[in-house]
A and B are shown apart, each in its own frame.
Chain A
């Protein structure tokens, strides 16, 4: 049972990926790219979802996917034009598929007629030609792989199709000198599944059904390799099948196409019995070879010579393809006249597929951690080398230099493994904007820039929710209604620009809109009413803008189902903080709002400054440090609260003495201490006073929460070269923590 669950889990994982892929493809299709590649990708995704769903008996999902697929096939075949309407239907259908997948995953049933409307529209669109309805019952749902019986495969369809083909064959054969020979049109297929095929929830029975639809078929199971029971492995694959297919128009490509989705997971031999021992070869074989050669550039070796002869000598072959395509478009596989192009494209993809492997993220993390340790050890070794040693052991020095380089390279490569383009998140946004525009009756255009910027995978995973909230906020609060925009002299269509770029060790994700900007009076008023700030507290414009991230804050007059409940922007802040990033908002009244997410490039390794607080080592992320100075040279001023502020170039900055804050006695004379000037969110500076500055280094972030709990002002821990733990100072946490303390 648990193995079946494993398979199911794999299937659902794949579904999520496929649904994402659908999203991407349709984003491109909407963008005007209507090439067949896109449609093929969509078709394959739906087909894979259907195939797996069938194996697990998710009947609703299979039925819907099947109807959808039929439509897609016709669109792909050019029978139904891909109008905006059809695209919209498809996009909507993707949601239905997603819901059905989700229902199958969670076991929570959907309303009985869920998706019926869409299905009716598929049928209406498809009924333009009567081939449209291969009855769905034929693609049955809860089969149990017990016996192979192909009698129920829509034979009426089949025969008429075959007849047509025969006629077509006869027609085109008329001009040919070669009479058909005995075994022409007879094919032998040997199919030996690997265990992965089953692990991917493929059912050979489905393949056989599809094969049977291509012609007269007999199938024999070969049990030669079944071992004695003592050697029998429960998950071993011991059975293979041998099939003979008889159909005058069959091509090797058509047969192989049936196995397209299990390519690489089985051994497949396709032999044209008609061509064996005969020269010149009969037409179907020749054609198969020719197709193979033309599409692939790499014909099977045994057909290589045939291909050469045929390529030069068979003019009428082109006529075949559309003719055999006609009746076959109803089949739930990649057939039709797109078939000519499909094998080439899909094989190319398969080849790409082989070049990437699926790896458990945990395994990658382990490597990342170890590389992190290596980096630290390496930097520790380098630090140990003083001038004396350097002079004495030159070989060692050289070795260490190489080690340093290699370690850097290794680190970069490992990080690159985890890095993913932000596209995977960005691609979900166009439809969000589309939906929001509909709901709010606004005209909104989304522009995305820099979607190939790469960030660590864990960061990406945490990015989806914040971005969704930010875009919602922009669409709901930022962009005005078309009327208001027109009145303000702006274009009726509002623009939300989503961009990603790398800036030093950070990734900046910017959500910008050209809407009304933040209504500061209102924000201030609401903040006062809700007690977020004191009644007399004076804030700068920037501080007011930043208030929208306060928990429970919303200025929306009416709570809509989009935003306004006051949850949202504080979620953005907390999510982003969790991954070590920061959020900054700037707004220009009447011109728009810009929200900037600053994210770390990686979560694993951090450049830090090592400092001493009392007798304990602490590290401060280098990215937040502006400058350092000795206390003796710092211009401190007293303020009424009893605290101190620091004057830096005319600016007054809050001072936090880490010894006081962490309740540890300072170990050095006041004037020999150091000030580390840091920048928190929104360019707010704070000055941290520490006992000593030890140096810079790279550290691997370790979680405190893993075995303990989070501590205010501490972002985590790290292990120094001597094996001791140093704590990482959370600059932003210190700042907000101090605000709370003073308020209390």
Chain B
């Protein structure tokens, strides 16, 4: 029973830590660093081409086969309006779950796993609607700005007619 009590305490402690902090997968697009909560990430794979989807916006790179299911790939650079990425084998697709769907995000590289405190998350400065639309907040990590991606916003409006 004592051992059990010990475990409980440990669990409590980690729960307290978990409550106040957030683990992020950080990835880069050019010089800029962005992050998503680590629990949404399903896997990270190297870019290996995608089948283009007709009649979609330029940030939809197409679909890939992920072990038998078809997963769409979004080009985050293009989503931010910086033109399409010219992907190489060194580019990375981060597969994440958004609601009950799986999507892949094409980024330049995955850089780190960050633990940040929730208290350090700042709101996105109002100004450019694209920023406030696509980012949930901004955190500072080692004096660098990390934009927290709003995945729901990133994957919306993918169709030309929609």
Contact = CB atoms under 8 A, between A and B. Distances in A.
A702 B69 contact: yes
B71 interface: yes
Contacts of A709: 158-159, 162
Nearest to A710: B159
B64 interface: yes
Contact of B55 (A616, A663, A707, A724): A663
Contacts of A145: none
A371 to B, nearest CB: 12
Interface stretch (A30-38, A110-118, A713-721): A713-721
B70 A706 contact: yes
A369 B68 contact: yes
Contact of B65 (A617, A713, A725): A725
29 contacts: A616-B51, A617-B51, A663-B54, A702-B68, A702-B70, A703-B70, A704-B63, A704-B70, A706-B69, A707-B70, A707-B71, A707-B101, A707-B103, A708-B72, A708-B103, A708-B158, A711-B55, A711-B159, A712-B161, A713-B55, A714-B54, A719-B65, A719-B68, A719-B70, A725-B62, A725-B63, A725-B65, A726-B51, A727-B51
Contact of A717 (B54, B63, B162): B63
B102 interface: yes
A682 B36 CA distance: 50
B113 interface: no
Interface in A353-384: 369, 373
Q: How would you classify the secondary structure of chain B's contact residues: helix, strand, loop or mixed?
A: strand
Nearest to A708: B72
A664 interface: yes
Nearest to B53: A711
Nearest to A741: B161
Contacts of A617: 51
B53 A727 contact: yes
Contacts of B63: 704, 708, 717, 725, 727
Interface in B117-161: 158-159, 161
B90 to A, nearest CB: 20
A723 interface: yes
Interface string B37-72: 000000000000111111110000011110011111
A373 B64 CA distance: 16
A333 B115 CA distance: 67
A118 B118 CA distance: 65
Interface in A673-731: 702-704, 706-709, 711-714, 717, 719, 723-727
A713 B68 contact: no
A723 B65 contact: yes
A661 interface: yes
- Chain B CB within 10 Å, residue with most, of A369, A708, A719, A727: A708
Given A704-B63, A708-B63, A712-B161, A664 B68 contact: no
Contacts of A706: 69-70, 101
Interface string A270-287: 000000000000000000
A662 interface: yes
B52 A707 contact: no
Given A706-B101, A717-B70, A725 B161 contact: no
Interface in B76-131: 101-103
Given A369-B68, A707-B70, A707-B72, 19 more contacts: A373-B68, A616-B52, A663-B55, A704-B70, A706-B101, A707-B71, A708-B53, A708-B63, A708-B101, A708-B103, A711-B55, A719-B68, A719-B70, A724-B49, A724-B51, A725-B50, A727-B51, A727-B54, A727-B63
A725 B101 CA distance: 18
Interface in B1-56: 49-56
Contacts of A369: 68
Contact of B69 (A663, A707, A712, A723): A707
A379 B58 CA distance: 35
A711 B70 contact: no
A661 B70 CA distance: 22
A373 B101 CA distance: 22
Nearest to A722: B65
- Chain A CB within 10 Å, residue with most, of B54, B63, B65, B158: B54
B93 to A, nearest CB: 13
Interface residues of A, number: 26
- Chain B CB within 10 Å, residue with most, of A664, A713, A725: A725
A154 to B, nearest CB: 55
Nearest to A720: B65
A662 B48 CA distance: 22
A724 B71 CA distance: 12
Contacts of A727: 51, 53-54, 63
Contacts of A373: 68
A90 B136 CA distance: 61
Contacts of B158: 708-709
A669 to B, nearest CB: 22
Contacts of A725: 50-51, 62-65, 70
A663 B58 CA distance: 12
A703 to B, nearest CB: 7
A183 to B, nearest CB: 56
A719 B102 CA distance: 17
A667 to B, nearest CB: 13
Interface in A560-616: 616
Contacts of B72: 704, 707-708
Contact of A724 (B53, B54, B65, B161): B65
Interface string A634-671: 00000000000000000000000000011110000000
A46 B49 CA distance: 59
- Chain A CB within 10 Å, residue with most, of B51, B71, B158: B51
- Of all A-B residue pairs in the complex, the 10 with the closest CB atoms, nearest first, are A662-B54, A708-B72, A725-B51, A717-B70, A707-B101, A719-B65, A702-B70, A725-B63, A707-B102, A725-B65
Nearest to A617: B51
A444 to B, nearest CB: 44
A706 B64 CA distance: 13
Contact of B54 (A702, A703, A707, A713): A713
A709 B53 CA distance: 11
A157 to B, nearest CB: 58
B74 to A, nearest CB: 10
Contacts of A664: 52, 54
Contacts of B55: 662-663, 711-713
A727 B54 CA distance: 10
Nearest to B71: A707
A188 to B, nearest CB: 48
Contacts of A714: 53-54
Contacts of B54: 661-664, 711, 713-714, 727
Interface string A149-186: 00000000000000000000000000000000000000
- Chain B CB within 10 Å, residue with most, of A373, A616, A711, A712: A711
Contacts of B52: 616, 664
Nearest to A719: B65
Contacts of B161: 712
Nearest to B51: A725
Nearest to B49: A724
Contacts of A702: 68-70
Nearest to B52: A616
B56 A711 contact: yes
A538 to B, nearest CB: 29
A611 to B, nearest CB: 14
Interface in A21-46: none
